[in-house]
Structure 1
Amino acid sequence: MIEARMWKKEDDAIRCGLCPHGCLIRERGQGICGVRGNRDGRLYALTYGKVVSAALDPIEKKPLFHFLPGTTTYSLGGIGCTFRCRHCQNWEISQAKIDELPLREIQPEEGVAQAERSGAASITWTYNEPTIWHEYALDMGRIGRKRNLKTIYVTNGYITEEALNELSPMLSAFRVDIKAFNDEFYKQICGGRLQPVLDATIRAHELGMHIETVTLVIPGLNDDPAEIDTMIRWVIEHLGPETPMHFTRYHPDYQMNDPPATPLATLERIYSRAQELGLKYPYLGNIPGSPYEDTRCPSCGAELIRRRGFSADNVGLDGDRCGRCGERIPLILS
């Protein structure tokens, strides 16, 4: 076992400092995530190097639309999560316990080598919450960056400033879920709080990470127009109007069989409203064949990147500029 980072003793227990839960873990216990455990008075990363899934994915699947578009990313997932989202689409692994699923070992050096062999431009920790894999991602990412691989977290954003600061030299992109813009949703649906997610996202931005946000729009729970407006305004103010925001279609899953799927009209209204408020790059997701996944020039409206499924085709870019009017488009291309 690998000893964990970011913890301190409190009497006969351990206080974990990796995420805002700040779990107090007693002997033989685990934190809320299920993968950081107190063993003989020390905290261990119980799933270091233990992988449920490793695959080569299009970067658009994450979704990341302004970060290495058209490339593939070597994606790794394990078990456990800091949240208990009732609508989780990866609940089979995020809510699993260590002894419930077969785990195979991929050590950091081997993971980087597999990414290189695959032709991927990046490594992504995804499928479940990467924050709880802190030591593993940190070790692999440091090796990967030395070999010119970018690195990505697909995250719920529930991470402390200390942990983010440690990740910052190696972490290139922070693709974060903003699940709603009200604390009650986070408490009732996810088992967390909103403000730590906002704080972490601002900090990741300050540290120079590429940021894209995703909000799964659930009818009757987080689709209130005033709430959505407040979220968009917050992103514009704190992250900038060029931040890509993805609004994706909900469908019933896991413990949430109601409400039904998000009406397309709701998402189209959000898209239009985001543009009215000054957001330059809104996107809609989970709508097969949708033109709302295309990147358009915010200045002249020219189509620049056309997306269908998980493919991305350059149809109007000249480097990182609009081929029609010359507007610079905020893309990380290499």
Structure 2
Amino acid sequence: MADKEETGGRVMVRTITDLARLAGVSPGTVSRALAGKSLVNAKTREKIEAIAREHGFRPNQMASGLRRQKTGVIGVIIPLGHDSRQQISDGFFMTLLGYLADELTREGYDLMLRRVVPENDADWLDRFIGSGMIDGVIVIGQSDQFERIEEVADGYRPMVVWGNHTEGQRHCVVGTDNRLGGRLAAERLIAAGAKDLAFLGDTTAIEFAARFAGAKDVAQRLGVTITALPTHLSPERASEEIALHLAQNAGRIDGIFAATDTLAALCLTQLRLLGISVPETIKLVGFDDLPIASQTVPSLTTVRQDIAAGARGLVELLLRRLAGQETESLILPPQLIMRHSA
């Protein structure tokens, strides 16, 4: 996809990414240079400023104008870099979006929703915040786009992200302590008698990687094995992959930690088709505590993240940032919910 246009031989610079390509630097360097950050050396900053003047570019120029003339709309964007076939109808997305809609409506805002596949649109975030249609943005999930989000955060303040917090990161995040959640899941499986664990999920996604890391912490400490079995989140792919994982590991694994309740529910279906009993033969723990967790047979033991509190935190922090205030990230504690699958 083209990121710039030419008019009469002149390159049109519309985003920080366009300017970065002309200057031969990263978008983050452009953001920091235009913001006057001392981290960028004087020569590079002067070069970037000169190119910006030549092309009449001002960072987030449409968004800046928008902040002077409010739209009353908050953008919500879901990047799917790690799994382009995942759908917004996923139970986690629908639950969080429902709570977000309630919170934004209560504050007098409308919601504009976008699902993006970053590999098809490198400027997915710049384009949205510079569209002239939103006052601020909530990003649901970091996917594999952590660095892109970091770069944008250097020059764009009214943005809050649902995701995993990493020490030293620059963007403001709301999310669960995923590593602790992974520890809780593994501890429960092992306490229930499991000695050979498997993790279902795609660890290229930052939140899932943290959940797996937490489970590994416990497994290593207690002398138990755990294996990551890469599994996507689109239902048709996930079902096929889970069936293959179970066929290849039948008789070996006796405990499964699924990265989401959706994956755990699909796993239950495949185990039932194979005639494998839960929890007698294989113990199973999910993550999220979505409504489906209490409706499966057997009901799912899972790690609960407080999605309603997360939605309130996302909106509250975004409104504070719109008002020009500094904000800290909000890390929510996970909770083990005991049911019948482990």
Which TM-score applies when normalising by structure 1?
Answer: 0.32
More strand by share: 1
More helix by share: 2
Specify the structure having the higher radius of gyration (Cα). Answer: 2
